[in-house]
Amino acid sequence: MPMPDDTHITAEAAAFAASVNYGDIPEDALKVGRRCMIDGTGQFVAGCVTEPVEIVAADVAEQGGREEALLLGQGAAKVPATLAARVIGTAGHALDWDDTQASKDPRHVYGLLTHPTVPPLAAVLALSQKLGAVSGQEFMTAFQAGFEVECKIAEWMLPEVYKRGLHASAAEGTIGAAIAAGKLLKLDEKAFRYAIGIASSCSAAGIRANVGTMTKPLHFGAAAENGIMAAQLAARGLEANDSALDGGYGFLSVFAGGVFEEKLTQGFGNTYSIADPGVSIKPYPSGILTHQSMDAMLALVREHDIKPENVDTVTFYAGSNILKPISYSFARDHLEAKFCVPALLAMIVLKRQAGQNEFSDDFVQSPAMVDMQKRITTTIDPDIEAQGFDKIRSKIVLTTRDGKTHEQWADERYRGSPDNPMTDGEVEDKYRICTDGILTADQQEALLRAIWAVDDTGNKDASALATLMQPSG
């Protein structure tokens, strides 16, 4: 519905951000926050050695500037905090393996919203190094504040932003990063309203045309960078519209066409979205709409011990809520493979896994992958389509060379979701997979221990996390 005339979303977000203290945050939200930080930090480390991030980092290094924060993946080199955040944020989404905000509202047709962790976490990692002596509880509070505002905006806004082809995570992430940065800068309510106004105008607002390209992760780098910039400018007194989320020309109207008005009574911080509805931690580095189907294929080939050479054809049946956004019919490289059902299912058939090794150009372009992708077709199933988009439904029909047919429905309770969460041990295992070969075993464990203890009362300098996640080679 269009924006009502009497909302005060900007003022309420600013009041929450200015007033929230560590003691206000429930323990369940803090626990999930640590899990998100472990998962997000794993993405930063894994992403820093990818080609897109190396390109962005090289450009930042050439620009140089004040030595405020470590340039991720570049040894002891330091750059301005805003530019450091650009690289960290880009690394966080480079593998498309970062977490996703869950929603219980069937009007959010995928049950999933923004990628919430990377923009505010990248912002606080970069800015805390510039500021120095940021306690662990201040660090966690800033992250939680940015996460909460970002997620509530994503929950309240109409889904038109995504349907129109905007990458909503980039837009909302800029505001989340601005709130997180503003909290570290100790902005008051007035300055927070200006920071939101600046961030709303400087939103990265990436377009979905760049899904499956090197530029998609840059959306998150730009969100973290612009969020810090917005908060710093507001701290210096740069004014903006102090109700920039509201009204006919405000962010929520312009980007999304309005809000679900009845949700506004939730407010900020009365419940924390990080805990309820919660966060999905991805088991695979690909579009999350595919994970149920990949698990279904894994179950099928394991149960019947189907070898790749025995696969004749695979037909994948789903609704348009999967097959429109996961749009590639054949993947030519590892970036396209993240949004290509035939490639993802082919990985499972060939390797019974889909991790970093499978998401490489060498593997995706290998003769075995090319051949297997050609055996897999996708089709929109009218019966699945008719059931609606409240859940992610799909079915796989696999025929072997001896003429046998096997059918497998995907489990709608996808692995990693709040309804079927990873254990702490599984989150740690994913972190180790992401950082293996980049950090030494000792570095891995030191960083992991530091994140679990990030908000302990004895932690007086949380910016040390940035040093611990820096590869030594």
In the block, residue with structure tokens 């464990």: 445
Q: What is the DSSP string of 359-396?
A: SSHHHHTSHHHHHHHHTEEEEE-HHHHHT-SSS--EEE
Report the amino acid identity of residue 367: P
Sign of CA dihedral 217, 414, 264, 164: positive
**Does residue 355 share a domain with residue 303?**
yes
pLDDT of 182: 98
**Does residue 120 share a domain with residue 36?**
yes
Average pLDDT, the chain: 93
Is residue 396 within 8 Å of residue 345, measured between CB atoms?
yes
Report pLDDT digits (tens) over 291-306: 999 999 999 999 999 9
Pairing of strands 394-400, 376-380: unpaired
Residue 344 lies in a domain: yes
CATH number (domain holding residue 269): 1.10.4100.10
Residue 4 lies in a domain: no
**Does residue 160 share a domain with residue 59?**
yes
**Does residue 128 share a domain with residue 92?**
yes
Residue 2 lies in a domain: no
Does the structure show a pLDDT above 70 at 473? no
Selection from 167, 170, 231 nearest residue 199 by Cα: 231
Residue 66 lies in a domain: yes
Last residue of a domain, one of 361, 382, 409: 409
Selection from 173, 221, 161, 220 nearest residue 199 by Cα: 173
| Average confidence (pLDDT) over 193-198 | 98
Last residue of a domain, one of 386, 409, 432: 409
pTM for the full predicted model: 0.90
**Does residue 399 share a domain with residue 427?**
no
Residue 40 lies in a domain: yes
Model confidence at 423, pLDDT cuts 50, 70, 90, reads very high
CATH number (domain holding residue 326): 3.30.1330.120
Does the structure show a pLDDT above 90 at 66? yes
Residue 85 lies in a domain: yes
86 or 283, greater pLDDT: 86
Is residue 121 within 8 Å of residue 92, measured between CB atoms?
yes
Distance between CA atoms of residues 97 and 84, nearest Å: 21
Distance between CA atoms of residues 339 and 290, nearest Å: 8
186: Cβ contacts below 8 Å, ≥ 6 apart:
none
- 207: helix, coil or strand? strand
| Average confidence (pLDDT) over 31-55 | 97
Report pLDDT digits (tens) over 84-128: 999 999 999 999 999 999 988 888 866 668 999 999 999 999 999
Does the structure show a pLDDT above 70 at 351? yes
What residues make up the domain containing 302? 288-409
139 or 254, greater pLDDT: 139
**Does residue 238 share a domain with residue 138?**
yes
Backbone angle region of 406, left / alpha / beta, with phi > 0 → left and psi within -120 to 50 → alpha: beta
| Average confidence (pLDDT) over 386-391 | 78
pLDDT of 113: 84
Report pLDDT digits (tens) over 73-91: 999 999 999 999 999 999 9
Structure tokens at 93: 């989404």
**Does residue 341 share a domain with residue 254?**
no
**Does residue 314 share a domain with residue 203?**
no
**Does residue 34 share a domain with residue 138?**
yes
| Average confidence (pLDDT) over 149-162 | 90
pLDDT of 78: 97
Pairing of strands 69-70, 405-409: unpaired
Distance between CA atoms of residues 231 and 82, nearest Å: 11
Does the structure show a pLDDT above 80 at 204? no
Is residue 290 within 8 Å of residue 341, measured between CB atoms?
yes
Report pLDDT digits (tens) over 360-385: 999 999 999 999 999 999 999 999 99
The structural domain count of the chain equals 2
Does the structure show a pLDDT above 70 at 21? yes
**Does residue 185 share a domain with residue 330?**
no
Report pLDDT digits (tens) over 430-451: 999 999 999 999 999 999 999 9
Q: What is the DSSP string of 309-343?
A: GGEEEEEEEE-HHHHTTS-BSS-SSHHHHTTBHHH
Residue 405 lies in a domain: yes
pLDDT of 109: 67
Does the structure show a pLDDT above 90 at 357? no
Last residue of a domain, one of 387, 409, 431: 409
**Does residue 314 share a domain with residue 269?**
no
**Does residue 227 share a domain with residue 128?**
yes
Does the structure show a pLDDT above 90 at 166? no
Residue 203 lies in a domain: yes
| Average confidence (pLDDT) over 5-11 | 92
